Structure 1
Amino acid sequence: MRRWGLTVPLPGVPLAAHRDLVRALPDLGWTDLWTAETAGADAFTPLALAAEWAPDLRLGTAIAPVQTRGPGLLAMSAATLAELAPGRFALGIGASSPVIVEQWNAVPFDRPYARVRDTLRFLRRAFAGEKVDERYETFAVRRFRLERPPARPPRVLLAALRPGMLRLAAREADGAITNWLGAADVPKVRAELGAGVELVARIFVCPTEDVELARKVGRSLVAAYLTVPAYAAFHEWLGRGPALRAMREAWAAGDRRAAAAAVPDEVVDDLVVHGSPDRCRDRVREYVAAGVDTPVIMLVPTGPGQVDQVGAVHALSPDGAATRWPSPA
């Protein structure tokens, strides 16, 4: 099945206002809805609504951090979604970042790889209805059993950027979720993950045909994200270290404006899809051709006078007929 995913909630659109759009998505060719969890909506509530609004869509978290909830609570939240959307829910988990875990949630960001691995192993047993009484390397669980284990356990996917986590996803999970990469980077990621394992990729789409505006927005995003240690290491591995060195140096010196200005246009063009709706669809399909199984579009706001977000979703439908972006809402 050809998959075509959307990240929700849409920027600037109230959660309740998504109902009519979500209901329309299957008829427009969309197959998946995925959430992110940073400082906006949590990962699970929008999907609980979508489970009722559009019972044909696959739903997924991309991602729920493993350290901001206890293991039992994470299992309960996922089991609830699996009950609401039997066979249609995928739980994406990951390490997240020191900012989100430590600075925003007051939890030590400790041994992220081991914590993801241990959480995955705990979840497998919990979803099977077992009583879990075990000391893992990074936490201990005493006599926990889900009261409502899902009849159809959710697929569990791991947020993975570099070889270690990609190989863990291949060995023990049902797939991997990656982020902030270009279509040309996909074969390197796929080579570590291996064939036959689902690869989900969030793809940032800036809905404008104004190249300079798209690059301005993209430079700010790249500077904010690719200075996070995990993403910095990811792009060193992908070979962008030299191209991003000036950006990292300016960011480390506290000059955010200079950091954004130092991001080369070619890096923005690699990592942020922009152009007409037809061009954006073609760019997303390049990711699929390179080895992504599930492309998940993340609409990037362009600022004042931006295109109508709901209209942009229609324009980006896999078989959409629009050739230009809709007028501002």
Structure 2
Amino acid sequence: MQSPLRYGITMPFPAPLPDHPGIARELADAGYTDVWSIEVDGLDGFTPLTLAAAGAPEVNLGTAIVSPYTRGPALLAMTAASLAELAPGRFHLGLGAASRPIVQDWNGTAYDRPYQRVRDTVRFLRAALAGERVAERYDTFEVNGFRLTRPPRTPPPIYLAALREGMLRLAGREADGAILNWLSADDVKRVVPYVHEGGSGKEIVCRVFVCPTEDADAARATFRRMITAYLNVPGYANYQRWLGRGDRLQPMWDAWESGDRRAALAAVPDSVVDELLVHGSPEQCREAIRRYVDNGVTVPVVWLIDAGTGSDPVADALALAP
């Protein structure tokens, strides 16, 4: 099996933010080439990358993902330009529609036409980050006369978080690649051809959930809670049906719909957990991550899952280094 040319880690870590430059330095010295952020309900998607760049200025940086609903088009362009200036040629802007709870329930913005909103944002950003004056009425918003006063010398590539055919094809057609999530190594073989319909050379970034422990019961118990939190969101539920897990997850969905959270947890089968979560010894985890690469992922990004066994996340990350 081939080793990935790029190998990423998810930040932030549980440690205080002032510690993150030093953590990034340790991880880069161990062989990690990429740091990718998350933005859900904790820290924003850009600050941890800035700190990582301070500690390890050679690493690639990426957002996986930020939503075009939660920042206006101009602010998103300015923020991306700032990171592109800080890390010229090494910053990657990952966009995604996110979900109705994040966009509408938490941020008070209507979650309307996500495919079109992402597409329109990519088109706007291509022009804005190239330094063009943008005066355009898109299908989902209008920009009247915006121009970046400090456009980056190297505009960042844009990747799209994609689940099913439409967004995967959009990522291949109008972006520089796709960001995948919540799928097995075998699922990659089904998903990536849709991206490559848009042309060769597209990057496939994949966040891989990894729990480096040989306590399988603890790993599965933790990840069941993540499954019930995420895969009851309609977009993710439909994605798992499309991938072929509908029959096995239907009892969990039924229990969740009835309000029985405990039954929903118990209804998640081990087989689904073991497909979506990499767990075992560090050696077993690295081998499993390589399978994602063999099946078409160009940038695997580890998301460490804490099984509650008292392990140190930085030590776990170092043990998983390529």
1:236 shift after superposition: 0.9
Cα offset, 1:193, TM superposition: 1.2
1:308 — aligned with what? Answer: 312
Q: 1:299 aligned to 280, 301, 304, which one?
A: 304
The unaligned stretches of length 5 or more in structure 1 are 319-329
Question: SS at the partner of 1:87?
Answer: coil
Distance, in Å, in 1 between the alignment partners of 2:18 and 2:290 is 30
CA distance in 2, matches of 1:26, 1:214: 26
Q: Deviations over 1:284-314 (max 9, x none)?
A: 11100111110000011112x4211110011
**1:240 matched to 2:240:** no
In structure 2, C-alpha distance between the alignment counterparts of 1:24 and 1:308, rounded to whole Å: 14
Whether the 8 Å contact between 1:207 and 1:307 is mirrored in structure 2 is no
Matched, 1:224 2:229: yes
TM-superposed CA distance for 1:219, in Å, is 1.1
In the TM superposition, residue 86 of structure 1 has moved relative to its aligned partner by: 0.2
Secondary structure, in 3 states, of the residue corresponding to 1:64? coil
Three-state SS of the structure 1 residue aligned to 2:317 is helix
C-alpha deviations, 1:32-57, integer Å up to 9, x for none?
00001001110001111112211110
Supply the distance in 2 between the matched residues of 1:202 and 1:255 (Cα, whole angstroms). Answer: 30
Secondary structure in 2 aligned to 1:72? helix
Give the secondary-structure state (helix, strand or coil) at the position aligned to 1:297.
Answer: strand
In structure 2, the residue matched to 1:117 is: 119
Q: Which ranges of 4 or more aligned residues in structure 1 deviate by more than 4 Å?
A: none
2:207 to 199, 202, 205: 202
Q: How does 1:271-290 map to 2 (within 5 A)?
A: 271-290=276-295
Match of residue 9 from structure 1 = 12
Name the aligned partner's letter for residue 143 of structure 2.
V
Structure 1 residue 131 displacement after superposition = 0.7
Q: Distance in 2 between matches of 1:256 and 1:283?
A: 31
RMSD across aligned positions (CA): 1.0
Q: Distance in 1 between matches of 2:161 and 2:86?
A: 23
State the aligned residue count: 316
CA distance in structure 2 between the aligned counterparts of 1:306 and 1:104, rounded to whole angstroms: 32
Instruction: Please name the residue that 2:261 is paired with.
Output: 256
Q: TM-score, normalised by structure 2?
A: 0.96
- Which residue of the partner structure matches residue 126 of structure 1? 128
Instruction: Describe the SS at the equivalent of 1:227.
Output: coil
Identity of aligned residues (%): 58
State how far apart, in whole Å, the 2-side matches of 1:234 and 1:196 are.
25
Question: 2:81, 2:32 → 1: CA distance?
Answer: 24
Alpha-carbon distance between aligned partners in 1 of 2:33 and 2:58, rounded to the nearest angstrom: 8
1:153 Cα deviation (Å)? 0.2
| SS of residue matched to 1:205 | strand
* Rounded Cα–Cα distance in structure 2 between residues aligned with 1:278 and 1:297: 14
**TM score, norm. by length of structure 1:** 0.94
How far residue 27 of structure 1 moved from its aligned partner, in angstroms, is: 2.0
Structure 2: tracts of 5 or more residues without a match: none
Q: Which AA in structure 2 matches 1:139?
A: F
Checking the alignment, whether the CA contact within 8 Å between 1:182 and 1:271 is kept in structure 2 is: yes
String of CA shifts for 1:2-44, please: whole Å, max 9, x gaps.
110000012x221212222211222211100000100111000
Distance 1:71 1:103 in 2: 21
SS at match of 1:148: coil
For 1:74 and 1:44, the matched residues in 2 are separated by 11
2:20–2:51: 8 Å Cα contact kept in structure 1? Answer: no
- State the partner residue of 2:155: 153
Partner SS, residue 65 of structure 1: coil
Residue 86 (structure 2) pairs with residue 81 (structure 1): no
Deviation at 1:261, TM superposition (A): 1.0
Aligned twin of 2:67 = 65
Say which is worse superposed, 194-203 or 59-68, in terms of deviation.
194-203
Taking the aligned partners of 1:185 and 1:79, their CA distance within structure 2 comes to: 34
How far does the alpha carbon of each residue in 1:218-250 deviate from its partner, in whole angstroms, 9 at most, with x for none? 111111111111111111111111111001111
What displacement does 1:196 show? 2.6
Partners of 1:183 and 1:173 in 2: CA distance: 23
The range that moved more, 1-10 or 182-191, is 1-10
Aligned mates of 1:4, 1:54 — CA distance in 2: 15
